[in-house]
């Protein structure tokens, strides 16, 4: 009789915990994956940057530059039927160089004008950016964190080669989620036109990132919440957190990769960038910016950032 009561009690407890886990998985899916406003990032100490950096990000001259450009609107239908929006800016003088820039979580393509202004005005490159699925003017009711997006970028690459010609040399430059995206893209079969990848503040995998954040933001263990949310994401968005791995993709990459991180990054810990660098099979470099928080390196030390970019491009592009 006592044994039966214990079994019933344990079964009841298991059912309660299971229900809590299911409810939590829907909560975390809506919190991070489902398209829409994300208030949980407001006031997040891990995303705090200096007042000077915030001024540049919100009101810097690069935003006026973006507004003044006559971007060509480009549309593409993804392999799963989403209409995606891209923006192309032809260089002032003929060149075969093209930068494809991938923005961060909750952003949009125009945010990459922070870097686009440099590539376009100072280096004279063609510039392209897109609203990733679920962002900006692109369709999609979820955020892909780079995994479904990687195939979108493979297709954008081919579309742009068809537009600009077979001698086009492509630089993939991504920030934060965009860095994860270009690294995941790098693990796919790419045309030889893709010459280099620049990943600023990337994460190793969605599973690793969310496991880190659920502990830091909610003081909760990864198991079982991340695993159940991953199952829900697989069912609703078509990908799981573990398969969305930049770490596994860079093991297959063939193009040179430049990793950029700030040693003050607590939102996506800089250790993740080091791990990616250590497991990259292609030529790779790692540059750390002292004191820079997440995605802050360019603004904190623009001169050094440009010097690092120039050197890497000169070493890995033809005719540089």
**pLDDT tens for each residue of 172-194:** 999 999 999 999 999 999 999 99
The band of 42, judged by pLDDT with boundaries at 50, 70 and 90, is low
Global pTM? 0.94
CA distance 36 to 69: 28
Token pair listed for 36: 């829409």
Q: Flag whether 42 is in a domain.
A: no
pLDDT at 25 exceeding the cut of 60? yes
- The pLDDT of 38-46, averaged and rounded, is 67
Q: Flag whether 211 is in a domain.
A: no
> Angle formed by the axes of helices 225-237 and 2-28, to 10°?
50
pLDDT tens digits for range 59-97: 778 999 999 999 999 999 999 999 999 999 999 999 999
Count Cβ atoms below 10 Å from residue 142 Cβ, excluding itself.
Answer: 19
Q: Flag whether 13 is in a domain.
A: no
pLDDT score at 46 = 59
pLDDT at 51 exceeding the cut of 60? no
pLDDT score at 151 = 98
pLDDT tens digits for range 191-205: 999 999 999 999 999
pLDDT score at 39 = 75
- Domain total of the chain: 1
- The pLDDT of 233-237, averaged and rounded, is 97
Q: Flag whether 26 is in a domain.
A: no
pLDDT score at 110 = 96
The band of 295, judged by pLDDT with boundaries at 50, 70 and 90, is very high
pLDDT score at 43 = 63
Q: Flag whether 216 is in a domain.
A: no
The band of 320, judged by pLDDT with boundaries at 50, 70 and 90, is low
The band of 10, judged by pLDDT with boundaries at 50, 70 and 90, is low
Q: Flag whether 82 is in a domain.
A: yes
The band of 17, judged by pLDDT with boundaries at 50, 70 and 90, is confident
Which CATH number is 98's domain given? 3.40.50.1820
pLDDT score at 4 = 72
Which structural domain, as residue segments, surrounds residue 136? 49-205+244-316
pLDDT tens digits for range 236-254: 999 999 999 999 999 999 9
pLDDT tens digits for range 252-291: 999 999 999 999 999 999 999 999 999 999 999 999 999 9
Token pair listed for 212: 């880190």
Q: Flag whether 258 is in a domain.
A: yes
Q: Flag whether 290 is in a domain.
A: yes
pLDDT tens digits for range 90-123: 999 999 999 999 999 999 999 999 999 999 999 9
């Amino acid at each position: 009789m006592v044994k039966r009561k214990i079994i019933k009690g344990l079964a009841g407890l298991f059912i309660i915990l299971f229900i809590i886990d299911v409810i939590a998985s829907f909560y975390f899916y809506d919190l991070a994956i489902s398209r829409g406003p994300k208030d949980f990032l407001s006031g997040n100490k891990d995303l705090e940057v200096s007042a000077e950096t915030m001024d540049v990000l919100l009101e810097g001259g690069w935003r006026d530059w973006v507004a003044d450009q006559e971007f060509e609107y480009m549309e593409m239908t993804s392999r799963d039927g989403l209409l995606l929006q891209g923006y192309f800016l032809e260089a002032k003088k003929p060149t075969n160089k093209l930068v494809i820039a991938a923005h961060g979580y909750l952003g949009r393509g125009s945010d990459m004008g922070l870097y686009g202004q440099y590539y376009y005005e100072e280096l004279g490159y063609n510039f392209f950016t897109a609203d990733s699925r679920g962002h900006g003017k692109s369709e999609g009711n979820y955020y892909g964190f780079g995994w479904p997006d990687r195939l979108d970028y493979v297709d954008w690459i081919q579309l742009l080669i068809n537009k600009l010609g077979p001698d086009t040399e492509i630089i993939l430059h991504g920030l934060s989620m965009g860095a994860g995206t270009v690294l995941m893209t790098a693990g796919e079969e790419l045309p030889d036109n893709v010459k280099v990848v620049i990943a600023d503040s990337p994460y190793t995998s969605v599973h690793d990132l969310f496991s880190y954040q659920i502990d830091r933001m909610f003081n909760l263990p990864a198991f079982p919440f991340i695993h159940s949310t991953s199952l829900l994401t697989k069912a609703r968005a078509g990908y799981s957190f573990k398969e969305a791995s930049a770490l596994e993709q860079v093991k297959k990459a063939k193009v040179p990769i430049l990793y950029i991180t700030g040693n003050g990054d607590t939102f996506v810990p800089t250790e993740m960038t080091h791990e990616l660098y250590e497991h990259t099979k292609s030529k790779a470099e790692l540059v750390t910016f002292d004191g820079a928080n997440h995605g802050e390196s360019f603004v904190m030390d623009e001169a050094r950032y440009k010097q690092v970019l120039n050197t890497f491009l000169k070493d890995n592009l033809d005719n540089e």
